[in-house]
Amino acid sequence: MTYDLEQGSLGDNYLLTVLSALGDIEGFIPSIFHQDKYNHEGIFALKVFVKGRPEDVTVDDLFPTYNNQPAFAKPTPDGGWWVPLLEKAYAKVNINYEMINGGSQAEVARFFTGAPAQEFETSKFTPEELWNKLTTNLG
């Protein structure tokens, strides 16, 4: 399922891009959460990777608001709150929301998957060179 995620007032479109891509992988987003239902305490435990090591991070369901709406990432169009919760977990590990105003897609991918990630400035390579870089370490 492709998600059209809404950013809010924080410059973290790099984070939302990765979350949208991960949301397209069947069952990936639910696998980050330790629970599969909302609990009445509003506390969520998430499995993420901090400096390459699996860690459990807890966040609550209280979000900064502006005009009675979440100030940063918005719920998905179908009412899912997983995007603001994952954004909050990433902000928590990085000290606060201000610290994730701008960042790296590769770092976000590592944080949520534990897999190595690298960014390429595609304008510096011919299509063949880029393809070779991308496929060199596959398999």
Q: What is the pLDDT of residue 17?
A: 94
The DSSP line for 24-75 is: TSTTHHHHHBS-SS--TT-EEEEEEEETTEEEEEEEES---EETTEESSSPP
Q: What is the pLDDT of residue 139?
A: 53
Q: What is the pLDDT of residue 41?
A: 94
Q: What is the pLDDT of residue 6?
A: 77
Low-confidence ranges of the chain (pLDDT < 50): none
Q: What is the pLDDT of residue 77?
A: 85
CA dihedral 49, 101, 73, 30 (to 10 degrees): -10
Q: What is the pLDDT of residue 138?
A: 62
Contact present, 100 and 10 (Cβ < 8 Å): yes
Sign for the CA dihedral angle at 89, 95, 14, 67 comes to positive
Q: pTM to 2 decimals?
A: 0.87
Contact present, 47 and 56 (Cβ < 8 Å): yes
Q: What is the pLDDT of residue 7?
A: 84
CA dihedral 6, 39, 100, 125 (to 10 degrees): -60
